[in-house]
A = this chain, B = another copy of it.
Amino acid sequence: MRITRRETFNAAHRLYRPDWDDMKNMEVFGKCSNPRWHGHNYVLFVTVEGSVDLQTGFVINLKELSRIIEEHVIQKLDHKNINLEVDFMQGKLASTENLAIGIWQQLEQPVTDAGGSLFCVKLIETENNFVEYFGS
């Protein structure tokens, strides 16, 4: 059984490598490398896998899962600049893939502590693209 909680955040970012010149960044990342930033309404789906607790009928209490995501992910990302302000993204390219991995790493331990098993982090960047990370 898998249960999924949806959360949203809005953030600014850009795709670029400081060790590449502007022409190379533009060639690979296109307009996503704009040095003055752009941004997205990100939609995050966090899926926890497990058996159903006989007492509660829950895989995990969604109030608790929502609180964990809020504390460990949303407060760090919402209305932030992903490149400049998010501790777990420092030194990383701010691609959707790397952001999903970072979110996984933020959530894995607290979800485990709450008795759940993190199964998937799905991150929608635009209506036309999303990534799914399953941990390693």
Contacts and interface: CB of A to CB of B under 8 A. Distances in A.
B41 A127 contact: yes
A34 interface: yes
Contact of A5 (B28, B100, B101, B128): B128
Given A129-B5, A131-B3, A98 B39 contact: no
Contact of A131 (B1, B40, B129): B1
Q: Is the interface of A mostly helix, strand, loop or mixed?
A: mixed
8 contacts: A6-B129, A11-B38, A11-B39, A12-B38, A12-B39, A34-B79, A40-B41, A52-B97
- Size bin of chain A's contact surface: 35 or more
Interface in A1-59: 1-8, 10-13, 15, 17, 28-32, 34, 36-41, 47, 52, 55-59
Contact of A127 (B1, B6, B36): B6
Nearest to A128: B6
A84 interface: yes
A106 interface: no
A87 interface: no
A130 B40 CA distance: 16
A40 to B, nearest CB: 5
- Pairs A-B, 6 closest by C-beta atoms: A39-B39, A57-B95, A57-B93, A31-B79, A36-B81, A12-B37
